[in-house]
Amino acid sequence: MPLISLEALRSKRALGWLSWHLRRRRRYRPAVLEALLADLARTAPDQLAISGDLTQISLEHEFRDAASWLARLGPPGRVSAIPGNHDAYVPVPRERGWQHWNPYLASDPGESDDFPSVRVRGEIALVGVCTAQPTRPFLATGRVGRDQLARLDAALERLAAAGLCRVVLIHHPPVAGLTSRRRSLLDADAFGEVVRRRGAELVLHGHLHRTTLVSLPGPERPIPVAGVPSASHAGPDPARCAAYHLYEIERARDGFAIRRRVRAWDPALGRFAARGSDESIGVVS
């Protein structure tokens, strides 16, 4: 158990630190992350999108460790990330927090420094929305905020005009009813209005620690909204076990055809393996 200063243990961090060491640490295992890296070497996706919560209580050594882990996943040109609520557990100066991941968070050159990030990779535009903000103890809410929503609106319109497949990455599920209010996205309705007006081809989120698939209304058709479990959870509930999702995206006559495969931690095998069969989650002919 690492030594933590009394200053760092104040308030919410103290509760989070206890929760981690008394309960959650047994479920989130480094060995599962190693197995994940091995499986990713086998499946070799072109791009990796990380939906946040790379730290537990936003300590600087956690940010440094996560930066090392990101580097093992791949170079910033292939790996994109956004922060989650645990990465803003308490207010932390940027240079002692997310700055450690900047190459993986930052937009392409020529884009704005503010979130949402915009990273174009081939025909895919990854749009990274930040919902992470410090909250009071026992809350895990997120918020996009009015200014970021305005920038998201403009980015989605511009990327659609460029004919790109817009994949929005956001930590909190932007759909009401998927989680309790104390863990919810507080301005999910406003986010929903932006994507209903501008559209998106796919929305990816984390936070719930389970595989989900719902949709939001879009301007022409429903927009798939897919949730991914934790990458390291090895607890007893198979529905919450570590997993990642592989998406195959192909241009089609009327947009983009999207298929999803689930790769999940299998405790009996001691590795990741396919769970279920491929699903078609984007429309299209």
User: Which two tokens mark 187?
Assistant: 């301005």
> Which span (43-51, 78-86, 100-108, 127-135) binds Fe ion, by CB under 5 A?
78-86
Distance CA 66, CA 39 (A): 19
CB of 18 to Fe ion, least distance (A): 18
Q: Give the interface size with Fe ion as a residue count (CB under 5 A).
A: 4
> Which span (88-96, 155-163, 201-209, 241-249) binds Fe ion, by CB under 5 A?
201-209
Distance CA 231, CA 267 (A): 14
Phi (first) and psi of residue 149, to 5 degrees: -60, -40
Query: Which residue(s) pair with 100 in the sheet?
Result: none
The answer to the question of residue 84 lying near Fe ion (CB under 5 A) is yes
Q: Which CB sits closer to Fe ion, 53 or 62?
A: 53
Residue of minimal CB distance from Fe ion?
Answer: 207
Residue in 205, 207, 233, 260 binding Fe ion, rule: CB under 5 A: 207
Q: Which residues inside 93-132 make contact with Fe ion, applying CB under 5 A?
A: none
Contact 16, 57 (CB under 8 A): yes
CB of 183 to Fe ion, least distance (A): 8
Q: Which residues inside 14-53 make contact with Fe ion, applying CB under 5 A?
A: 53
Spell out a b/e string for 74-87, using b for 16 or more CB atoms within 10 Å of the CB, else e.
eebeebbbbbbbbb
Residue in 56, 85, 141, 230 binding Fe ion, rule: CB under 5 A: 85
The string of DSSP codes covering 215-247 is EE--SSSPEEEEE---SSB--S-GGGS-EEEEE
Q: Which CB sits closer to Fe ion, 84 or 199?
A: 84
Chain residues that interact with Fe ion, rule: CB under 5 A: 53, 84-85, 207
